Amino acid sequence: MLAGAVQCGYCMPGMIMATKALLDQNPDPDTPEIKRALAHNLCRCTGYVKIFDAVKLAGRFLRGETTPEQMRPAPGSSMFGVSHPRPSALLKACGLAEFTADIKLQDAVEVAVVRSTEPHAVIKSIDTTTAEKMPGVIGFMTAKDIKGTNRLKMLFPDQPILCEDKVRTLGDPIAVVAAERKDLARAAAAAVRVDYEPLPVIGTTGKGLADGAVRIHNEWPNLCYRPPQIKGDAEKALAESAHVVEADSNTYEGLKKAGKPIRYLGTKKNEDEGTLDPETGQGPSFEVQVHDIQMAEVEVDTETGDVRVIKMTTTVDAGPVIHPQNLEGQLEGGMDQGVGYALREEYIHGQTKDWLTFKFPTMKTSFESEVITRETPRVKGTLGATGIGEMTMVPTAPAVINAIKDACDIRIYNLPALPKKIKAALAAGK
């Protein structure tokens, strides 16, 4: 809690059990020892950085070097710019917090969803006869029971609430079963028989856009939206820039060697939010944007093609920082997810089934992080601040791919940059 390690809290009880076992044996572990002891515990939120901090802090408590009271913000300290423990952190750490699925409403029926087991198929029939006779079953709902259009809209009203004629992805919802208990609803949902006629699977953007590709939505082309692009005027932008750096290398070390400054202070003029330009598809910038720049330091094993991220540095301006620990945690976790996207995470239909085959980022692959903040107040932001959200994931993959290019002069265009792609690019010399 005091180290800011509890984000969603889902992994915490397991982390705490493994930490207790470690600290019982070794009350002063270093980071490699923590990595080994907690190697089988996964966390999706934190990037593991704050978890290492938390284990070390627990060790300090056990060794009597400090106390939780000393580590807490002083009573009465400001709620702005001070890292108070999250109010829900204790409940989450103890496994007592209620997640949405834990919430029970009195006398409410329980429902389970029948989901598609096919990635792309025509629904020929839905047979509920066996499921209807099962204990505790109250009723079923399919697309024909939904009033209105049965469509949800993001860009276009193209997503059925319950699929009526075809399914377009694994897990598409087809029917809902209501029963007296959750387990009975799930059993009945598993007994619903759906007869499919499989259609070609479109597994990549390229396949979806290819000539003659089967249409995913009968009434819409596969390319649903083409955002206008502007190319800008690079010469003019350079002429107007406060700083222009010219160097052969784009790495930190390269800049240092070239005798160039390595940190710059930049400003960006923000204008009022306005309407989109129909030609460019862009509007004037507005004050609540967040700005983030990242740099990756990587090690590439040119024999095996393995890439290891050693360190990520991020510099972010999200306005005045309300909760420094939460901001850092969000950035560290986002970079970890971004590195996973850049190097490992890949969904292959029929093969990717769980967190092992998906190559989830683990403690073993975690890396050092440095977070640098700038705090430009936003005129329209709450308390001058703006959100950080998942911004931190956006520049990560390009930073990692650029670092690979810098390390061994190959550029990977197809993510994730798996060892076999690195080796192939090295062999091809590009």
The dihedral formed by the CA atoms of 47, 50, 52 and 53, expressed in degrees to the nearest 10: 160
In the three-class reduction of DSSP (H, G, I as helix; E, B as strand; rest coil), residue 291 is classed as strand
DSSP letter assigned to residue 191: H
Shorter beta-carbon distance to ligand FES: residue 151 or 364: 364
Shorter beta-carbon distance to ligand FES: residue 193 or 364: 364
Question: Is residue 262 a contact partner of residue 252, using CB atoms and an 8 Å limit?
Answer: yes
Question: Is residue 359 a contact partner of residue 345, using CB atoms and an 8 Å limit?
Answer: yes
How far apart, in whole angstroms, are the C-alpha atoms of residue 362 and residue 41?
8
Short-list 34, 40, 4, 6, CA closest to 20 = 34
Minimum CB distance to ligand FES, residue 45 (Å): 3
105 class by beta-carbon count within 10 Å (0-12 exposed, 13-18 middle, 19+ buried): exposed
Of 180, 370, 375, 390, which is the active-site residue? 390
Minimum CB distance to ligand FES, residue 63 (Å): 25
Shorter beta-carbon distance to ligand FES: residue 119 or 361: 361
Question: Is residue 295 a contact partner of residue 312, using CB atoms and an 8 Å limit?
Answer: yes
Shorter beta-carbon distance to ligand FES: residue 46 or 386: 46
Minimum CB distance to ligand FES, residue 92 (Å): 8
Minimum CB distance to ligand FES, residue 224 (Å): 32
Minimum CB distance to ligand FES, residue 38 (Å): 11
What kind and span of H or E run contains 174? strand 173-179
Shorter beta-carbon distance to ligand FES: residue 15 or 162: 15
Question: Is residue 41 a contact partner of residue 35, using CB atoms and an 8 Å limit?
Answer: no
Q: Is position 390 annotated as part of the catalytic site?
A: yes
Site residues (vs ligand FES, CB under 6 A):
7-11, 43-46
Structure tokens at 109: 């029926």
Q: How many CA atoms lie within 13 A of 198 on its CB side?
A: 7
CA 340, chain centre distance (Å): 9
Residue 292 backbone dihedrals phi, psi, to 5 degrees: -145, 130
How far apart, in whole angstroms, are the C-alpha atoms of residue 183 and residue 175?
16
How far apart, in whole angstroms, are the C-alpha atoms of residue 213 and residue 211?
6
How far apart, in whole angstroms, are the C-alpha atoms of residue 196 and residue 86?
48
Structure tokens at 342: 């850049």
Minimum CB distance to ligand FES, residue 299 (Å): 26
Shorter beta-carbon distance to ligand FES: residue 44 or 72: 44
Shorter beta-carbon distance to ligand FES: residue 11 or 322: 11
Minimum CB distance to ligand FES, residue 368 (Å): 19
Structure tokens at 145: 């029971």
What positions carry a catalytic annotation?
A: 390
